[in-house]
Structure 1
Amino acid sequence: YARERLPAFVVTHYDTPEVQHWLHEAAREAGLVSASEQEMIDLLIGWIDSDRKSTALKALQGMIWAEGYQGADFQAHIYEDAARGLQKWAANGLRLYVYSSGSVPAQKLLFGNTAAGDLTSLFSGYFDTETGAKRESASYARIAEAIGLPASAILFLSDIAEELDAAHDAGMQTILLARDSRGCPANSRHRCVVGFDAIDPSLI
């Protein structure tokens, strides 16, 4: 959705301060001293195609997604067991946080427009790559500090082993979510489940 609409979005919003800020950040990240509109569009499309975890790109994508949500072009997908688990844990008084390569505004848009309804009230906070890269343990140490809990009291869930390794190295407890047909790997250093129904945070 964002890839298809990014060229027109950049052209029509090029002079707005927020878009200018993130275009400058993208150019700086790419090592460009100056670039035309088309050069920036080509750069960002290339980053989308390579799934680059760029904070600037994610911020711009989030602005485009916002227009899609507002226009009811789509809803955010969430697994039924994930929505059910998050609602149950929040009702039980657990503090829930999101850490994603998507920008914080994009995260709020996603969880505010899911097929299960607006889930934003379930979360106590959001983190994105401005906190740091998701495969670096220092990022998780910063999150623990921001939350105000020892890392050992925090459970981190992901489907990416390298992210879990980084969280584990920072002292967090970890669970690998393996939904694909391959299931849980035999040699995982992390506890592994195939869905949220198998997780009981009170036992962690």
Structure 2
Amino acid sequence: MSAIRAIVTDIEGTTSSISFVKDVLFPYARERLPAFVVTHADKPEVRHWLHEAAREAGLVSASEQEMIELLIGWIDSDRKSTALKALQGMIWQDGYRDSAFRAHIYADAARCLQKWAAMGKTLYVYSSGS
């Protein structure tokens, strides 16, 4: 049997709590999505993902307000959409940068990750993006 060269982990419930995502990240993105769209819709990356969301919804054209309502609806129904996840990720990035919240990692997970990295293992995270 060959030696282990890489470790793949999940985030929710493995390296950190499910409640952080459910109770902190999702509500944060939902609350800030309207202002984020209005403020950043002219940026190429945001415009791209808004276009992708509209395409996914079968919309030929949509106003910012219609897109906001669509995306909030998707958040509320826990829709798995790459476009939505990309936009949420940008909002979360802003939140981390602005210190609106701080992620945690379980102490035992941190120890294991540090140990594996010191052993030269390649570390990966698999996430559905939910």
Cα distance, 1:87 vs structure 2: 1.3
Secondary structure class of the residue paired with 1:96: strand
The equivalent residue for 1:198 is none
Amino acid at match of 1:88: K
The equivalent residue for 1:62 is 89
Secondary structure class of the residue paired with 1:101: coil
Cα distance, 1:60 vs structure 2: 0.6
Query: Are the counterparts in 2 of residues 90 and 96 from structure 1 also a CA contact under 8 Å?
Result: yes
Instruction: Calculate the aligned-residue CA RMSD, in Å.
Output: 1.5
Structure 1: where are the runs of 5+ without partners? 104-204
CA–CA separation in structure 1 for the residues paired with 2:83 and 2:49: 5
Secondary structure class of the residue paired with 1:97: strand
The equivalent residue for 2:79 is 52
Amino acid at match of 2:99: A
Query: Are the counterparts in 2 of residues 27 and 33 from structure 1 also a CA contact under 8 Å?
Result: yes
The equivalent residue for 1:37 is 64
Amino acid at match of 1:19: V
The equivalent residue for 1:17 is 44
Secondary structure class of the residue paired with 1:100: coil
Structure 2: where are the runs of 5+ without partners? 1-27
**How many matched pairs?**
103
CA–CA separation in structure 2 for the residues paired with 1:75 and 1:102: 18
The equivalent residue for 1:100 is 127
The alignment's TM-score, normalised by the length of structure 1, stands at: 0.48
Cα distance, 1:77 vs structure 2: 2.5
Query: Are the counterparts in 2 of residues 2 and 61 from structure 1 also a CA contact under 8 Å?
Result: yes
Per residue, is there more helix in 1 or in 2?
2
CA–CA separation in structure 2 for the residues paired with 1:73 and 1:46: 24
Cα distance, 1:74 vs structure 2: 0.8
The alignment's TM-score, normalised by the length of structure 2, stands at: 0.73
CA–CA separation in structure 2 for the residues paired with 1:91 and 1:55: 34
CA–CA separation in structure 2 for the residues paired with 1:77 and 1:25: 32
Per residue, is there more strand in 1 or in 2?
1
CA–CA separation in structure 2 for the residues paired with 1:59 and 1:96: 22
- CA displacement 1:78-109 (0-9 Å, x = unmatched): 22222221111111121111122339xxxxxx
Following TM superposition, where does structure 1 have runs of at least 4 consecutive aligned residues deviating by more than 2 angstroms? none
* Pair 1:80-2:107 in alignment: yes
CA–CA separation in structure 2 for the residues paired with 1:72 and 1:6: 17
What is the aligned-residue identity percentage?
Answer: 84
